[in-house]
Amino acid sequence: MDKRKIIIDTDTGSDDAVAIIMALREPDVEVVAFTTVSGNVELDKATVNCLQSIEYAGTYAPPVYAGCAKPLVCELETADQVHGMDGMGDCPWLRKPAMKVSPGHAVDRILEIIDEGDGDIEILAIGPLTNIASAIIQRRDIMRKVPHITVMGGAHPHSNPHTVCAEFNVMCDPEAADIVLDSGIPVTMVTLEACFGDMKFTGEELDGIKSINELGAFCVDCNRTLTDMNEKVFGRRELDLPDPAAFAAFIRPELIKTSFRAYTRVELKGKYTRGATIFFHEEPDEFDDMFRFKRHPANSTVVTAIDGKGFKDYLIELIRK
C-alpha cells in the first residue's frame, strides 16, 4: 500500500505531542510537513513543542513551519490550565529540542506543498483552523486540490473549561472553522464525544504506558497537567487524548464505531453559543417536504464514537515499535 501523505497542522500542546509521535511512527503514513498555529499555547511554544515531540518520536524529521499567532477575528484564548504553562505539563526533566523551525510562513508553505503535490496530500488539523482557513482565503483554487481534511474538532452541546457548548479548537477560532467547513473540501470531524467514555485512559493504564520505555513516559508525563486536573475535579486519575483519537480515526477508520453525515457549520454570533458546531443531519430526499429550513448537501462526516480498546492497543503498539 502507498503511504498516505499528510500535513499535520498543530497547536502543539500535550495531546498533540502524542498524535505527532503516532504519526511519525506509523509506517503507512508520510508526514510531509508540520505547521504550527496558536491555540493550546502561544505560537512560539507550540512550535518548540512540535520540534520536541518530533525528536522524542525518534524516526524522521519533517520540516516544521510556524503559522498564525492569532485567530482570524477574536483574541487568542490559550488552555494552560489543561496543558501546563509550556503546553507540555511543565516537566523540567524533558529534553529540549535541538531541531530548529524551518523558514517560511506555514500558510505559504501549505499552499506551495499542496500546489506542487499530485492531489494526494491530506491534512490532519489538530488545533484551531486559522492556518488552513487563511490558506483557503488566499488561494481557494489551490486548496481545492486537498482531497480530505480530518479535524479534531466540534461537539454536540458540550462544555469545555472555556465555554458551555463548544469544543476548544472550534471555540478558539470559530470563523476559521466555519471557513474550512464551507470550503468544499471534504471534512471528517472527530468530536469531543468520540474521545471520552472508554477512550479515556485510567491511572493504571497510564502507569502501564509509562513503564514501556522512555517514549511512553514522555507521552504520559507531558499530559500530567490534565491528568492532575482530572484527579482534582473527578477524584480519579484519568486522561483523554483527543488529537491521537483524530489521528487514529484518520489512519484506522475501522476503529470508528459511530458517525453520521451532516451539513456542519459554526455558530458565530451567539452570546452563549459562539463556537458551537451545528449539525444538519443528512436526511433522505423523501423528507424534503417536511423541512421548513433550507437544506444543504452534507459537507462532513462527524465521528461520535471510537473503539476505546482498539485505540489504546494501537497507541501502545506504536510506542513499543
Residues found near ligand BDR in the complex (CB under 6 A) = 13, 15-16, 40, 79, 82, 126-127, 152, 160, 167-169, 192, 242-243
Residues 6+ apart with CB under 8 A from 144: 183, 184, 185
CA atoms within 13 A on the CB side of 173: 28
Which of ligand BDR, Ca ion, none sits in contact with 89, Cβ below 5 to 8 A by type? none
CB of 277 to ligand BDR, least distance (A): 12
Q: Which stretch binds Ca ion (CB under 5 A): 54-62, 122-130, 203-211, 282-290?
A: 122-130
Q: How many angstroms separate the Cα of 176 from the Cα of each of 71, 75, 211, 239? A: 8, 13, 40, 28
Question: Is 167 one of the binding residues for Ca ion (CB under 5 A)?
Answer: no
CB of 75 to Ca ion, least distance (A): 18
Distance in angstroms (rounded) separating the CA atoms of residues 299 and 293: 17
Would you say 13 and 82 are in contact if contact means Cβ atoms under 8 Å apart?
yes
Which of Ca ion, ligand BDR, none sits in contact with 79, Cβ below 5 to 8 A by type? ligand BDR
Task: Compute how many residues bind Ca ion; rule: CB under 5 A.
Answer: 5
CB of 215 to ligand BDR, least distance (A): 19
CB of 89 to ligand BDR, least distance (A): 13
Look at the chain and count its residues.
321
Which of Ca ion, ligand BDR, none sits in contact with 62, Cβ below 5 to 8 A by type? none
Question: Which of positions 241-280 make contact with Ca ion (CB under 5 A)?
Answer: 243
Would you say 57 and 99 are in contact if contact means Cβ atoms under 8 Å apart?
no
Distance in angstroms (rounded) separating the CA atoms of residues 14 and 220: 9
CA geometry: angle 260, 314, 18, nearest 5 deg: 90
Would you say 35 and 8 are in contact if contact means Cβ atoms under 8 Å apart?
yes
CB of 122 to ligand BDR, least distance (A): 17
CB of 189 to ligand BDR, least distance (A): 12
Which residue lies nearer to Ca ion by CB, 131 or 280? Answer: 131
Which of Ca ion, ligand BDR, none sits in contact with 51, Cβ below 5 to 8 A by type? none
Question: Is 127 one of the binding residues for Ca ion (CB under 5 A)?
Answer: yes
Which of ligand BDR, Ca ion, none sits in contact with 167, Cβ below 5 to 8 A by type? ligand BDR
Distance in angstroms (rounded) separating the CA atoms of residues 268 and 26: 37
Which residue lies nearer to ligand BDR by CB, 26 or 167? Answer: 167
Distance in angstroms (rounded) separating the CA atoms of residues 65 and 192: 27
CB of 34 to Ca ion, least distance (A): 12
- Take residue 272 and report the three cell numbers written for it: 452563549
Distance in angstroms (rounded) separating the CA atoms of residues 9 and 309: 27
Distance in angstroms (rounded) separating the CA atoms of residues 269 and 243: 27
Which of ligand BDR, Ca ion, none sits in contact with 168, Cβ below 5 to 8 A by type? ligand BDR
Q: Which stretch binds Ca ion (CB under 5 A): 49-57, 119-127, 157-165, 276-284?
A: 119-127
Binding residue for Ca ion, selected from 72, 101, 113, 126, defined by CB under 5 A: 126
Please report, as a single letter, which amino acid is at residue 183.
S
CA geometry: angle 265, 283, 249, nearest 5 deg: 60
CB of 169 to ligand BDR, least distance (A): 5
Tell me whether strands 201-202 and 238-239 are parallel, antiparallel or unpaired.
Answer: antiparallel
Q: Which residue is nearest to ligand BDR (CB)?
A: 168
Residues that bind Ca ion (CB under 5 A): 11, 16, 126-127, 243
